[in-house]
């Protein structure tokens, strides 16, 4: 059974278009626990979780190299938008496409990093897509904290590497490029 873990990244650029991106890391249920253990070994010191923007450049590169050795695939949806587009609209566009892509790959279970009160907006999108039959009614979707699910760290790393690449810092993305399918949205 395929499962997916989704995280997002927002890069606000005051003098240019902003970037909103969402990454889904897809893993087979049989590999999930081994991948979690590997991700947990990447924490430094007393860190409770990995978080891309908090890691040193050298550690981000180590994380990227480790991800290439794990049995996972990734899809990243990217919305580059100007100030007239609200970030929540960009999120909706990215998530809608990710749900569609995951459903077409027969992913049965999806876990998103929780935004707590804003999760209701994602649930509304999910309900709309199910009602209009744009995705299967059987795909399970839940929201959780990255402190409780290490596989969200992998999604965070993939989306972070992608948005940093778009900002001219390509080192980590280049390591991961063969494992990432990037979809740019209009």
Whole-number pLDDT of residue 16: 66
| CB neighbourhood size of 171 (10 A) | 13
How many whole angstroms from its chain centre is CA 159? 5
Task: Of 56, 59, 68, give the one whose Cα is nearest residue 25.
Answer: 68
Residues of the chain with pLDDT under 70: 13-16
Whole-number pLDDT of residue 116: 84
Whole-number pLDDT of residue 86: 83
pTM score, two decimals?
A: 0.94
Whole-number pLDDT of residue 164: 94
Whole-number pLDDT of residue 13: 63
* Residue pair 139/33 in contact by the 8 Å Cβ criterion: no
Within 8 A by CB and 6+ apart from 34, the residues are: none
Whole-number pLDDT of residue 186: 73
Whole-number pLDDT of residue 14: 58
């Amino acid at each position: 059974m395929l499962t997916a873990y989704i995280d997002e990244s927002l890069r606000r650029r005051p003098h240019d278009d902003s970037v909103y991106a969402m990454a889904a890391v897809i893993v087979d249920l049989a590999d999930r626990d081994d991948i979690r253990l590997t991700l947990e070994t990447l924490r430094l010191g007393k860190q409770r979780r990995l978080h891309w923007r908090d890691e040193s450049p050298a550690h981000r590169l180590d994380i990227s190299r480790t991800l290439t050795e794990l049995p996972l695939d990734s899809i990243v949806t990217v919305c580059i938008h100007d100030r007239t587009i609200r970030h929540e609209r960009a999120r909706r566009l990215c998530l809608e496409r990710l749900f569609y892509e995951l459903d077409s790959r027969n992913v049965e279970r999806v876990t998103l990093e929780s935004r707590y009160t804003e999760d209701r907006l994602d649930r509304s999108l999910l309900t709309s897509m199910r009602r209009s039959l744009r995705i299967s009614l059987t795909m399970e979707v839940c929201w959780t904290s990255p402190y409780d699910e290490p596989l969200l760290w992998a999604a965070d790393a993939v989306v972070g590497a992608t948005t940093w690449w778009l900002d001219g810092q390509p080192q980590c993305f280049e390591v991961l490029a063969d494992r990432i399918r990037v979809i740019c949205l209009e």
